[in-house]
């Protein structure tokens, strides 16, 4: 069994929820997709290379925006399609922006930051939409725990591979040019990713508080 599930950090409660919950989660286009224990394990059973190229891009949409390119419309990026990276400029700063719980890439927490960068100067602005995994009910603790599970085990490794693609021989972007921006639960997502790949700058905006350690900040 190929799995990207880490150690049993979620414990019995998470697995009980995954086993017992069946819910419809809204995609950003208005359609819905059902998530349950069975569907979750289906993802974990798939070899990572197939998750990258065949399945996850249907649910996690990573789009590139440039100031004067394609009329400001985003281009979805695929790791197995070099043609989708035509407008990416390795010499420019690259800003990844990701939303949090019960949100999407077209909500204001992402679009305001995206548009501010696009208005300021030419750079690579990349939005990450993982809305199918972030729930529909801001008050639902079950959906929140599911979102954390998906964030750790699917979304973070998926985003990590994009950054590795950018900094690797394909595009040769310097890690010093990469900035990760996350809002709410997305702040924790970017923190997880930054532990796996070398980047210059990570910004957490209003990091989500529930079920996160309350340690005091450490000097750096």
- Contact between 52 and 80 under an 8 Å Cβ cutoff? The reply is yes
Instruction: Judge whether residue 111 has pLDDT over 80.
Output: yes
SS3 103: coil
pTM beyond 0.75: the answer is no
pLDDT single digits (tens) 124-182: 999 999 888 887 777 767 778 778 888 888 889 999 999 999 999 999 999 999 999 99
Q: What token pair was written down for 40? A: 């979750």
Q: What token pair was written down for 21? A: 């919950």
DSSP-assigned letter for residue 136: S
Average pLDDT over residues 39-66: 68
Residues with Cβ within 8 Å of 196's Cβ and at least 6 positions away in sequence, in order, are 156, 157, 160
Give the C-alpha distances (Å, rounded to integers) separating 178 from 45, 53, 115, 171, 199.
Answer: 31, 23, 18, 13, 5
Choice among 66-70, 117-121, 211-215 with the minimum mean pLDDT? 211-215
| In the chain, where the domains are located | 13-205
Residue 126: closest CA among 204, 64, 190, 203 = 64
Residues with Cβ within 8 Å of 155's Cβ and at least 6 positions away in sequence, in order, are 60, 128, 130, 133, 189
The stretches of the chain forming alpha helices (DSSP H) are 11-20, 37-45, 48-50, 108-120, 141-150, 156-167, 185-194
More confident residue, 104 or 34: 104
Average pLDDT over residues 171-198: 93
Residues in the chain: 220
Average pLDDT over residues 43-67: 71
The span from the CA of 118 to the CA of 107, in Å, is 16
In CATH, what class is 13-205? Answer: alpha beta
What is the rounded average pLDDT for all residues in the chain?
76
């Amino acid at each position: 069994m190929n799995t990207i599930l880490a150690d049993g950090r979620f414990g019995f409660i998470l697995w009980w929820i995954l086993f017992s919950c069946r819910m419809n989660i809204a995609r950003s286009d208005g359609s819905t997709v059902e998530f349950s224990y069975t569907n979750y394990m289906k993802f974990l059973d798939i070899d990572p290379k197939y998750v990258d190229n065949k399945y996850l891009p249907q649910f996690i949409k990573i789009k590139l925006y440039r100031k004067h390119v394609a009329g400001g419309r985003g281009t979805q990026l695929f790791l197995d399609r070099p043609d989708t990276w035509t407008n990416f400029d390795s010499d420019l700063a690259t800003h990844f922006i990701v939303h949090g719980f019960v949100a999407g890439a077209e909500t204001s927490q992402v679009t305001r930051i995206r548009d501010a960068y696009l208005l300021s100067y030419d750079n690579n602005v990349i939005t990450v939409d993982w809305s199918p995994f972030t729930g529909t009910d801001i008050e639902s603790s079950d959906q929140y725990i599911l979102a954390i599970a998906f964030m750790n085990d699917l979304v973070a490794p998926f985003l990590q591979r994009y950054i590795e693609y950018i900094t690797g021989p394909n595009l040769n972007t310097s890690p010093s040019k990469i900035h990760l921006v996350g809002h709410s639960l997305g702040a924790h997502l970017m923190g997880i990713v930054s532990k796996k790949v070398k980047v210059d700058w990570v910004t957490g905006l209003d990091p989500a508080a529930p079920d996160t350690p309350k340690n005091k900040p450490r000097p750096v």
